Amino acid sequence: MELRTTVGIETRKAAPSELAQRIISKTSKGYRGPAILMLEDGTVFYGRSCGASGTATGEVCFNTSLEGYFEVFTDPSYAGQIVTMTYPQVGNYGIDPADVQSAYPGGDARGANTPALRGVVVHDMCATPSNWRSAVSVPAYLEQNGVVAIEGVDTRALVRHLRDHGAQKGIISTEFFGLMELANMLEAAPSLVGQNLVRTVSCAAAHPYTAADLPEQHAFASAPAPEPARHRVVVYDCGIKRGILEGLVRAGCELTVVPWDTSAEEVLAERPDGVFLSNGPGDPDAVEETYSQVRKLIGRVPLFGICLGHQMISLACGAEIEKLKFGHRGGNQPVMNLISHRVEITAQNHGFGLVFPSLGALVPELSGGVTEHPADGDLRFWVERGVAPVVDNDRFGRIRLTHVNLNDGTAEGIQLLDQPAFCVQYHPEAAPGPTDAHYLFTAFCRLMDGDPDYLNIDIAKDRLAGWVFATDDTK
Protein backbone atom coordinates (compact mmCIF):
# COMPACT_ATOMS: atom_id res chain seq x y z
CA MET A 1 0.00 0.00 0.00
CA GLU A 2 1.27 3.44 -0.94
CA LEU A 3 0.70 5.80 1.96
CA ARG A 4 -0.16 9.38 1.07
CA THR A 5 -2.01 12.23 2.73
CA THR A 6 -4.36 14.87 1.40
CA VAL A 7 -2.83 18.10 0.14
CA GLY A 8 -1.74 20.50 2.86
CA ILE A 9 -1.56 18.10 5.80
CA GLU A 10 1.65 16.19 5.11
CA THR A 11 3.27 17.55 8.28
CA ARG A 12 0.17 17.97 10.45
CA LYS A 13 0.00 15.93 13.63
CA ALA A 14 -3.16 14.03 14.50
CA ALA A 15 -4.07 16.51 17.24
CA PRO A 16 -4.37 20.26 16.59
CA SER A 17 -2.18 22.70 18.46
CA GLU A 18 -2.80 23.44 22.12
CA LEU A 19 -4.04 26.91 21.17
CA ALA A 20 -6.57 25.44 18.71
CA GLN A 21 -7.73 22.96 21.34
CA ARG A 22 -8.28 25.77 23.87
CA ILE A 23 -10.23 27.84 21.35
CA ILE A 24 -12.48 24.92 20.35
CA SER A 25 -13.06 23.96 23.99
CA LYS A 26 -14.49 27.44 24.65
CA THR A 27 -17.14 27.06 21.95
CA SER A 28 -20.48 25.25 22.12
CA LYS A 29 -18.89 22.45 20.12
CA GLY A 30 -16.26 21.61 22.71
CA TYR A 31 -13.04 19.69 22.06
CA ARG A 32 -13.44 15.91 21.87
CA GLY A 33 -9.98 14.79 20.79
CA PRO A 34 -8.32 13.93 17.48
CA ALA A 35 -9.49 11.34 14.93
CA ILE A 36 -8.13 9.93 11.69
CA LEU A 37 -9.60 8.38 8.56
CA MET A 38 -7.49 6.17 6.29
CA LEU A 39 -8.64 4.70 2.99
CA GLU A 40 -7.56 1.40 1.51
CA ASP A 41 -5.41 3.14 -1.10
CA GLY A 42 -3.44 4.97 1.59
CA THR A 43 -5.20 8.34 1.49
CA VAL A 44 -5.38 9.90 4.96
CA PHE A 45 -7.66 12.58 6.44
CA TYR A 46 -7.23 14.09 9.91
CA GLY A 47 -10.04 15.55 11.98
CA ARG A 48 -11.74 15.56 15.37
CA SER A 49 -13.88 12.98 17.10
CA CYS A 50 -17.62 13.74 17.12
CA GLY A 51 -19.09 10.42 18.20
CA ALA A 52 -18.00 7.40 20.20
CA SER A 53 -14.35 6.75 20.92
CA GLY A 54 -12.81 3.71 19.27
CA THR A 55 -11.81 2.25 15.92
CA ALA A 56 -14.09 1.11 13.09
CA THR A 57 -13.54 -0.36 9.63
CA GLY A 58 -15.94 -0.59 6.71
CA GLU A 59 -16.58 0.46 3.14
CA VAL A 60 -16.39 4.25 2.85
CA CYS A 61 -19.27 5.67 0.79
CA PHE A 62 -21.08 9.00 0.53
CA ASN A 63 -24.68 10.21 0.77
CA THR A 64 -25.80 13.37 -1.05
CA SER A 65 -28.98 14.07 0.95
CA LEU A 66 -29.42 17.64 2.17
CA GLU A 67 -31.40 16.51 5.22
CA GLY A 68 -32.54 13.32 6.91
CA TYR A 69 -29.18 12.43 8.43
CA PHE A 70 -30.81 10.49 11.30
CA GLU A 71 -32.82 8.35 8.87
CA VAL A 72 -29.59 7.72 6.96
CA PHE A 73 -27.67 6.75 10.10
CA THR A 74 -30.37 4.27 11.14
CA ASP A 75 -30.97 2.72 7.71
CA PRO A 76 -30.00 -1.00 8.09
CA SER A 77 -28.78 -0.99 4.48
CA TYR A 78 -25.64 0.81 5.71
CA ALA A 79 -24.44 -2.22 7.68
CA GLY A 80 -20.72 -2.66 7.10
CA GLN A 81 -20.21 0.90 5.83
CA ILE A 82 -18.70 4.22 6.89
CA VAL A 83 -21.02 6.96 5.63
CA THR A 84 -19.78 10.35 4.48
CA MET A 85 -22.39 13.10 4.45
CA THR A 86 -21.77 15.59 1.63
CA TYR A 87 -23.90 18.38 3.11
CA PRO A 88 -21.42 20.57 5.04
CA GLN A 89 -23.20 20.75 8.42
CA VAL A 90 -24.88 17.81 10.11
CA GLY A 91 -26.87 17.84 13.34
CA ASN A 92 -28.37 21.35 13.31
CA TYR A 93 -31.93 20.11 13.92
CA GLY A 94 -30.96 17.31 16.27
CA ILE A 95 -32.71 13.94 16.57
CA ASP A 96 -36.21 12.76 17.40
CA PRO A 97 -36.03 9.01 18.19
CA ALA A 98 -39.48 8.58 16.59
CA ASP A 99 -37.80 9.02 13.20
CA VAL A 100 -35.54 5.96 13.61
CA GLN A 101 -35.55 3.79 10.48
CA SER A 102 -34.07 0.58 11.85
CA ALA A 103 -36.78 -2.00 12.43
CA TYR A 104 -34.27 -4.42 13.96
CA PRO A 105 -35.99 -6.04 16.97
CA GLY A 106 -32.77 -6.50 18.93
CA GLY A 107 -30.40 -9.38 19.54
CA ASP A 108 -27.19 -10.46 21.24
CA ALA A 109 -24.99 -8.14 19.19
CA ARG A 110 -27.17 -5.00 19.03
CA GLY A 111 -30.16 -3.55 20.79
CA ALA A 112 -33.51 -2.85 19.14
CA ASN A 113 -33.62 -0.14 16.47
CA THR A 114 -29.91 0.66 16.83
CA PRO A 115 -27.82 1.85 13.86
CA ALA A 116 -26.02 -0.79 11.81
CA LEU A 117 -23.47 1.44 10.07
CA ARG A 118 -19.81 1.31 11.15
CA GLY A 119 -18.90 5.00 11.18
CA VAL A 120 -19.75 8.56 10.14
CA VAL A 121 -17.71 11.26 8.37
CA VAL A 122 -18.85 14.90 8.29
CA HIS A 123 -17.36 18.32 7.63
CA ASP A 124 -18.96 20.10 10.57
CA MET A 125 -20.98 18.51 13.37
CA CYS A 126 -23.48 20.70 15.25
CA ALA A 127 -23.51 19.91 18.98
CA THR A 128 -26.28 22.37 19.89
CA PRO A 129 -29.36 21.61 17.77
CA SER A 130 -32.41 23.86 17.54
CA ASN A 131 -35.72 22.20 16.66
CA TRP A 132 -39.00 21.67 18.51
CA ARG A 133 -38.84 17.91 17.93
CA SER A 134 -35.22 17.41 18.94
CA ALA A 135 -34.60 15.19 21.96
CA VAL A 136 -30.86 14.56 21.66
CA SER A 137 -27.89 15.92 19.70
CA VAL A 138 -26.25 13.84 16.98
CA PRO A 139 -22.87 13.58 18.78
CA ALA A 140 -24.62 12.37 21.94
CA TYR A 141 -26.67 9.82 19.97
CA LEU A 142 -23.61 8.46 18.15
CA GLU A 143 -21.71 8.20 21.44
CA GLN A 144 -24.62 6.43 23.14
CA ASN A 145 -24.79 3.89 20.31
CA GLY A 146 -21.06 3.27 19.93
CA VAL A 147 -20.72 4.78 16.45
CA VAL A 148 -17.27 6.22 15.74
CA ALA A 149 -17.41 9.54 13.88
CA ILE A 150 -14.99 12.15 12.58
CA GLU A 151 -15.54 15.83 11.72
CA GLY A 152 -13.27 18.52 10.31
CA VAL A 153 -12.73 16.49 7.14
CA ASP A 154 -12.75 18.15 3.72
CA THR A 155 -15.69 16.04 2.57
CA ARG A 156 -15.57 17.63 -0.88
CA ALA A 157 -12.07 16.25 -1.41
CA LEU A 158 -13.06 12.87 0.05
CA VAL A 159 -16.12 12.55 -2.19
CA ARG A 160 -14.16 13.57 -5.30
CA HIS A 161 -11.60 10.92 -4.40
CA LEU A 162 -14.27 8.23 -4.01
CA ARG A 163 -15.89 9.26 -7.30
CA ASP A 164 -12.55 9.03 -9.09
CA HIS A 165 -11.25 5.87 -7.42
CA GLY A 166 -14.41 4.13 -6.24
CA ALA A 167 -15.82 3.19 -2.86
CA GLN A 168 -13.22 1.34 -0.82
CA LYS A 169 -12.42 0.03 2.61
CA GLY A 170 -11.53 2.56 5.26
CA ILE A 171 -10.74 2.87 8.94
CA ILE A 172 -11.70 5.58 11.46
CA SER A 173 -9.90 5.76 14.77
CA THR A 174 -9.67 7.96 17.83
CA GLU A 175 -7.18 5.52 19.39
CA PHE A 176 -4.49 4.71 16.83
CA PHE A 177 -2.63 7.22 14.66
CA GLY A 178 0.38 5.29 13.35
CA LEU A 179 -0.14 4.97 9.61
CA MET A 180 1.44 1.54 9.25
CA GLU A 181 -0.53 0.24 12.23
CA LEU A 182 -3.76 1.53 10.68
CA ALA A 183 -2.83 0.10 7.29
CA ASN A 184 -2.30 -3.35 8.79
CA MET A 185 -5.64 -3.21 10.61
CA LEU A 186 -7.36 -2.12 7.43
CA GLU A 187 -5.77 -4.86 5.38
CA ALA A 188 -7.08 -7.46 7.84
CA ALA A 189 -10.64 -6.09 7.66
CA PRO A 190 -13.12 -8.01 5.46
CA SER A 191 -14.33 -6.64 2.14
CA LEU A 192 -17.99 -5.82 1.61
CA VAL A 193 -18.02 -8.02 -1.50
CA GLY A 194 -18.92 -11.60 -0.63
CA GLN A 195 -20.34 -10.77 2.81
CA ASN A 196 -23.88 -11.70 3.76
CA LEU A 197 -24.70 -8.74 5.98
CA VAL A 198 -28.44 -9.32 5.69
CA ARG A 199 -28.29 -11.95 8.42
CA THR A 200 -27.01 -9.27 10.84
CA VAL A 201 -29.99 -6.92 10.41
CA SER A 202 -32.99 -9.20 9.79
CA CYS A 203 -35.51 -10.20 12.43
CA ALA A 204 -35.08 -13.64 14.03
CA ALA A 205 -38.78 -14.59 14.03
CA ALA A 206 -41.97 -13.68 12.20
CA HIS A 207 -44.03 -10.84 13.66
CA PRO A 208 -46.95 -8.62 12.59
CA TYR A 209 -46.84 -4.92 11.76
CA THR A 210 -50.17 -3.11 11.81
CA ALA A 211 -51.69 0.36 11.97
CA ALA A 212 -51.27 0.20 15.75
CA ASP A 213 -47.49 0.26 15.23
CA LEU A 214 -47.51 3.58 13.34
CA PRO A 215 -45.68 6.26 15.39
CA GLU A 216 -48.07 8.75 16.97
CA GLN A 217 -45.36 11.43 16.77
CA HIS A 218 -45.81 11.56 12.97
CA ALA A 219 -49.47 12.52 13.16
CA PHE A 220 -48.61 16.18 12.50
CA ALA A 221 -47.45 15.25 8.98
CA SER A 222 -49.25 11.99 8.14
CA ALA A 223 -52.89 11.25 7.54
CA PRO A 224 -54.67 10.43 10.82
CA ALA A 225 -55.71 6.96 9.65
CA PRO A 226 -54.30 4.61 7.00
CA GLU A 227 -56.35 2.93 4.31
CA PRO A 228 -58.41 0.01 5.69
CA ALA A 229 -56.40 -3.21 5.57
CA ARG A 230 -57.54 -5.23 2.56
CA HIS A 231 -54.39 -7.10 1.48
CA ARG A 232 -52.44 -9.68 3.48
CA VAL A 233 -48.75 -9.25 2.68
CA VAL A 234 -45.72 -11.25 3.78
CA VAL A 235 -42.63 -9.03 4.06
CA TYR A 236 -39.13 -10.48 3.72
CA ASP A 237 -37.03 -8.55 6.24
CA CYS A 238 -33.58 -8.21 4.70
CA GLY A 239 -32.93 -5.08 6.77
CA ILE A 240 -36.21 -3.29 6.21
CA LYS A 241 -36.74 0.36 7.10
CA ARG A 242 -39.66 1.32 9.33
CA GLY A 243 -40.72 3.86 6.72
CA ILE A 244 -41.35 1.03 4.25
CA LEU A 245 -43.50 -0.86 6.74
CA GLU A 246 -45.43 2.33 7.46
CA GLY A 247 -45.93 2.98 3.73
CA LEU A 248 -47.33 -0.50 3.15
CA VAL A 249 -49.69 -0.23 6.11
CA ARG A 250 -50.92 3.20 5.03
CA ALA A 251 -51.63 1.77 1.56
CA GLY A 252 -53.96 -0.82 3.11
CA CYS A 253 -51.72 -3.83 3.76
CA GLU A 254 -51.82 -6.14 6.78
CA LEU A 255 -48.22 -7.25 7.26
CA THR A 256 -46.46 -10.34 8.52
CA VAL A 257 -42.72 -9.67 8.64
CA VAL A 258 -40.53 -12.78 8.27
CA PRO A 259 -36.77 -13.44 8.48
CA TRP A 260 -34.60 -13.16 5.38
CA ASP A 261 -34.17 -16.94 4.99
CA THR A 262 -37.84 -17.98 5.34
CA SER A 263 -38.75 -20.75 2.90
CA ALA A 264 -41.19 -20.20 0.05
CA GLU A 265 -43.34 -23.00 1.47
CA GLU A 266 -43.71 -21.18 4.81
CA VAL A 267 -44.60 -17.96 3.00
CA LEU A 268 -47.25 -19.60 0.82
CA ALA A 269 -48.70 -21.32 3.89
CA GLU A 270 -49.68 -17.84 5.11
CA ARG A 271 -51.93 -17.56 2.01
CA PRO A 272 -50.81 -13.98 1.32
CA ASP A 273 -52.23 -11.69 -1.33
CA GLY A 274 -48.70 -10.55 -2.06
CA VAL A 275 -45.04 -10.75 -0.99
CA PHE A 276 -42.78 -7.75 -0.45
CA LEU A 277 -38.98 -7.98 -0.68
CA SER A 278 -37.21 -5.31 1.35
CA ASN A 279 -34.07 -3.25 1.12
CA GLY A 280 -30.92 -4.54 2.81
CA PRO A 281 -27.13 -4.29 3.01
CA GLY A 282 -24.13 -5.94 1.43
CA ASP A 283 -23.47 -8.13 -1.57
CA PRO A 284 -26.71 -9.51 -3.07
CA ASP A 285 -24.92 -12.53 -4.54
CA ALA A 286 -24.19 -13.63 -0.95
CA VAL A 287 -27.91 -13.75 -0.06
CA GLU A 288 -28.67 -16.99 -1.90
CA GLU A 289 -31.07 -18.19 0.79
CA THR A 290 -33.43 -15.35 -0.16
CA TYR A 291 -33.30 -15.23 -3.95
CA SER A 292 -33.54 -19.01 -4.23
CA GLN A 293 -36.88 -18.80 -2.43
CA VAL A 294 -37.97 -15.85 -4.58
CA ARG A 295 -37.43 -18.05 -7.62
CA LYS A 296 -40.02 -20.45 -6.19
CA LEU A 297 -42.46 -17.64 -5.40
CA ILE A 298 -42.48 -15.98 -8.83
CA GLY A 299 -45.71 -16.95 -10.58
CA ARG A 300 -47.31 -18.19 -7.34
CA VAL A 301 -48.07 -14.84 -5.72
CA PRO A 302 -47.70 -11.13 -6.66
CA LEU A 303 -44.24 -9.79 -5.80
CA PHE A 304 -42.85 -6.30 -5.26
CA GLY A 305 -39.20 -5.65 -4.41
CA ILE A 306 -37.16 -2.53 -3.65
CA CYS A 307 -33.39 -2.03 -3.49
CA LEU A 308 -31.97 -5.40 -2.38
CA GLY A 309 -35.42 -6.85 -3.11
CA HIS A 310 -35.00 -5.66 -6.71
CA GLN A 311 -31.70 -7.52 -6.84
CA MET A 312 -33.30 -10.64 -5.32
CA ILE A 313 -35.94 -10.74 -8.09
CA SER A 314 -33.25 -10.08 -10.71
CA LEU A 315 -31.04 -12.89 -9.39
CA ALA A 316 -34.05 -15.21 -9.25
CA CYS A 317 -34.47 -14.50 -12.97
CA GLY A 318 -30.85 -15.50 -13.59
CA ALA A 319 -29.46 -11.99 -13.98
CA GLU A 320 -25.95 -10.76 -13.31
CA ILE A 321 -25.38 -8.18 -10.57
CA GLU A 322 -22.40 -5.81 -10.75
CA LYS A 323 -20.58 -3.76 -8.09
CA LEU A 324 -21.03 -0.09 -8.94
CA LYS A 325 -18.03 2.21 -8.76
CA PHE A 326 -19.42 4.36 -5.94
CA GLY A 327 -23.11 3.48 -5.87
CA HIS A 328 -26.20 5.67 -5.53
CA ARG A 329 -26.88 7.11 -2.08
CA GLY A 330 -29.00 10.19 -1.45
CA GLY A 331 -32.42 11.75 -1.77
CA ASN A 332 -31.88 13.47 -5.10
CA GLN A 333 -31.27 10.71 -7.67
CA PRO A 334 -33.08 11.32 -11.01
CA VAL A 335 -34.79 8.30 -12.56
CA MET A 336 -36.71 8.17 -15.84
CA ASN A 337 -39.91 6.14 -15.69
CA LEU A 338 -40.05 4.60 -19.17
CA ILE A 339 -43.74 3.78 -18.76
CA SER A 340 -45.03 7.25 -17.82
CA HIS A 341 -42.11 9.16 -19.43
CA ARG A 342 -41.88 11.21 -16.23
CA VAL A 343 -38.73 11.86 -14.22
CA GLU A 344 -38.84 10.82 -10.58
CA ILE A 345 -36.48 12.32 -8.01
CA THR A 346 -35.75 9.34 -5.81
CA ALA A 347 -34.13 8.27 -2.54
CA GLN A 348 -31.52 5.56 -3.00
CA ASN A 349 -28.97 3.55 -1.05
CA HIS A 350 -27.16 0.79 -2.89
CA GLY A 351 -23.72 -0.14 -4.20
CA PHE A 352 -24.71 -2.98 -6.54
CA GLY A 353 -26.86 -2.94 -9.66
CA LEU A 354 -28.61 -5.13 -12.24
CA VAL A 355 -26.91 -5.76 -15.58
CA PHE A 356 -30.09 -5.57 -17.67
CA PRO A 357 -28.78 -7.37 -20.82
CA SER A 358 -27.99 -10.42 -18.67
CA LEU A 359 -31.74 -11.07 -18.33
CA GLY A 360 -32.01 -12.14 -21.98
CA ALA A 361 -32.07 -11.13 -25.62
CA LEU A 362 -34.19 -8.21 -26.79
CA VAL A 363 -37.64 -8.79 -28.29
CA PRO A 364 -37.38 -6.34 -31.24
CA GLU A 365 -41.12 -5.94 -31.83
CA LEU A 366 -41.49 -4.83 -28.18
CA SER A 367 -38.27 -2.78 -28.11
CA GLY A 368 -38.79 -0.20 -30.84
CA GLY A 369 -37.33 -2.52 -33.47
CA VAL A 370 -33.92 -2.61 -31.77
CA THR A 371 -32.25 -6.02 -31.99
CA GLU A 372 -29.10 -5.57 -29.87
CA HIS A 373 -28.46 -4.15 -26.41
CA PRO A 374 -26.39 -0.93 -26.45
CA ALA A 375 -22.73 -1.92 -26.64
CA ASP A 376 -21.61 0.46 -23.91
CA GLY A 377 -24.28 -0.75 -21.46
CA ASP A 378 -25.65 2.79 -20.99
CA LEU A 379 -29.43 2.38 -20.64
CA ARG A 380 -30.04 6.07 -21.34
CA PHE A 381 -30.08 4.75 -24.91
CA TRP A 382 -33.71 3.78 -24.22
CA VAL A 383 -34.53 7.09 -22.53
CA GLU A 384 -33.48 8.97 -25.66
CA ARG A 385 -35.77 6.78 -27.77
CA GLY A 386 -38.69 6.83 -25.36
CA VAL A 387 -38.82 3.02 -25.40
CA ALA A 388 -39.26 0.56 -22.51
CA PRO A 389 -37.39 -2.45 -23.97
CA VAL A 390 -38.43 -6.06 -23.39
CA VAL A 391 -36.19 -9.11 -23.19
CA ASP A 392 -37.00 -12.81 -23.46
CA ASN A 393 -35.96 -14.43 -20.19
CA ASP A 394 -35.43 -18.20 -20.31
CA ARG A 395 -36.95 -18.65 -16.82
CA PHE A 396 -39.95 -16.35 -16.60
CA GLY A 397 -40.74 -15.07 -20.08
CA ARG A 398 -40.86 -11.42 -21.07
CA ILE A 399 -39.25 -8.82 -18.80
CA ARG A 400 -39.50 -5.07 -19.39
CA LEU A 401 -37.04 -2.38 -18.33
CA THR A 402 -39.20 0.25 -16.61
CA HIS A 403 -36.80 2.70 -14.93
CA VAL A 404 -33.34 4.09 -15.77
CA ASN A 405 -30.93 6.20 -13.68
CA LEU A 406 -30.31 9.46 -15.53
CA ASN A 407 -26.94 10.07 -13.86
CA ASP A 408 -25.18 6.96 -15.11
CA GLY A 409 -27.63 4.98 -17.25
CA THR A 410 -27.95 1.97 -14.94
CA ALA A 411 -31.11 -0.11 -14.46
CA GLU A 412 -33.53 1.15 -11.79
CA GLY A 413 -36.58 -1.07 -12.33
CA ILE A 414 -38.03 -4.06 -14.19
CA GLN A 415 -41.47 -5.58 -14.69
CA LEU A 416 -42.17 -9.25 -15.42
CA LEU A 417 -44.84 -9.20 -18.13
CA ASP A 418 -45.81 -12.87 -17.89
CA GLN A 419 -45.70 -13.09 -14.09
CA PRO A 420 -47.16 -10.82 -11.38
CA ALA A 421 -43.93 -9.22 -10.24
CA PHE A 422 -42.09 -5.90 -10.46
CA CYS A 423 -39.26 -4.18 -8.63
CA VAL A 424 -37.25 -0.96 -8.41
CA GLN A 425 -33.73 -0.22 -7.23
CA TYR A 426 -34.75 2.81 -5.16
CA HIS A 427 -36.91 3.62 -2.11
CA PRO A 428 -40.55 4.78 -2.25
CA GLU A 429 -40.98 5.69 1.44
CA ALA A 430 -39.44 9.21 1.58
CA ALA A 431 -37.53 8.62 4.80
CA PRO A 432 -35.65 10.70 4.01
CA GLY A 433 -36.28 11.99 0.53
CA PRO A 434 -38.94 13.05 -1.97
CA THR A 435 -42.38 11.49 -2.36
CA ASP A 436 -42.27 11.04 -6.15
CA ALA A 437 -42.12 7.24 -5.82
CA HIS A 438 -45.04 6.84 -3.41
CA TYR A 439 -47.14 5.53 -6.32
CA LEU A 440 -45.25 2.23 -6.13
CA PHE A 441 -47.19 1.26 -2.98
CA THR A 442 -50.39 1.98 -4.91
CA ALA A 443 -49.10 -0.05 -7.85
CA PHE A 444 -48.44 -3.03 -5.59
CA CYS A 445 -52.00 -2.90 -4.27
CA ARG A 446 -53.34 -2.67 -7.82
CA LEU A 447 -51.21 -5.68 -8.80
CA MET A 448 -52.71 -7.67 -5.90
CA ASP A 449 -56.15 -6.54 -7.10
CA GLY A 450 -55.41 -8.14 -10.47
CA ASP A 451 -55.15 -4.89 -12.46
CA PRO A 452 -53.03 -5.71 -15.57
CA ASP A 453 -52.19 -2.00 -16.01
CA TYR A 454 -51.08 -1.57 -12.39
CA LEU A 455 -48.11 0.70 -13.19
CA ASN A 456 -50.17 3.21 -15.17
CA ILE A 457 -50.55 5.78 -12.37
CA ASP A 458 -50.56 9.58 -12.25
CA ILE A 459 -47.48 9.82 -10.07
CA ALA A 460 -47.82 13.58 -9.61
CA LYS A 461 -51.21 13.12 -7.93
CA ASP A 462 -50.31 9.96 -6.02
CA ARG A 463 -47.20 11.52 -4.44
CA LEU A 464 -49.43 13.66 -2.19
CA ALA A 465 -51.36 10.69 -0.80
CA GLY A 466 -51.24 10.23 2.97
CA TRP A 467 -49.73 13.62 3.83
CA VAL A 468 -51.27 16.39 5.90
CA PHE A 469 -50.86 20.00 4.75
CA ALA A 470 -51.63 23.18 6.71
CA THR A 471 -54.84 24.94 5.70
CA ASP A 472 -55.89 28.53 6.04
CA ASP A 473 -59.19 28.50 7.97
CA THR A 474 -59.61 32.26 7.64
CA LYS A 475 -60.77 32.03 4.01
Residue 118, Cβ density class (10 Å: 0-12 exposed, 13-18 middle, ≥19 buried): buried
User: Which whole number is the average pLDDT over 372-387?
Assistant: 97
- Output the pLDDT for position 110: 78
Cα–Cα distance measured from residue 452 to residue 444, given in angstroms and rounded to the nearest whole number:
11
- Relative to beta strand 207-209, strand 168-173 is unpaired
Cα–Cα distance measured from residue 250 to residue 44, given in angstroms and rounded to the nearest whole number:
46
Contacts of 20 (CB under 8 A, 6+ apart): none
Contact yes or no for 438/430 (Cβ under 8 A)? yes
**Which positions are catalytic?**
307, 427, 429
Alpha helices in 62-178 (DSSP H): 69-73, 138-144, 155-165
- The mean pLDDT of the chain is 92
Q: pLDDT over 70 for what percent of the chain? A: 94
- Output the pLDDT for position 474: 43
Is the confidence at residue 321, as pLDDT, over 80?
yes
Give the phi and the psi of residue 107 in degrees, each rounded to 5: -165, -165
For residue 115, whether the previous peptide bond is cis, meaning omega lies within 30 degrees of 0, is no
Query: Beta-strand (E) ranges in 212-302?
Result: 231-237, 253-259, 274-277
- Output the pLDDT for position 306: 98
Contact yes or no for 63/330 (Cβ under 8 A)? yes
**DSSP one-letter string for 17-81:** PHHHHHHHHTSSS----EEEEEETTSEEEEEEE-SBSSEEEEEEEEE--SS-HHHHHT-GGGTTE
Cα–Cα distance measured from residue 169 to residue 65, given in angstroms and rounded to the nearest whole number:
22
- Output the pLDDT for position 79: 96
Q: Torsion-angle region of residue 445: left (phi > 0), alpha (psi -120 to 50) or beta?
A: alpha
pLDDT per residue as tens digits for the range 236-292: 999 999 999 999 999 999 999 999 999 999 999 999 999 999 999 999 999 999 999
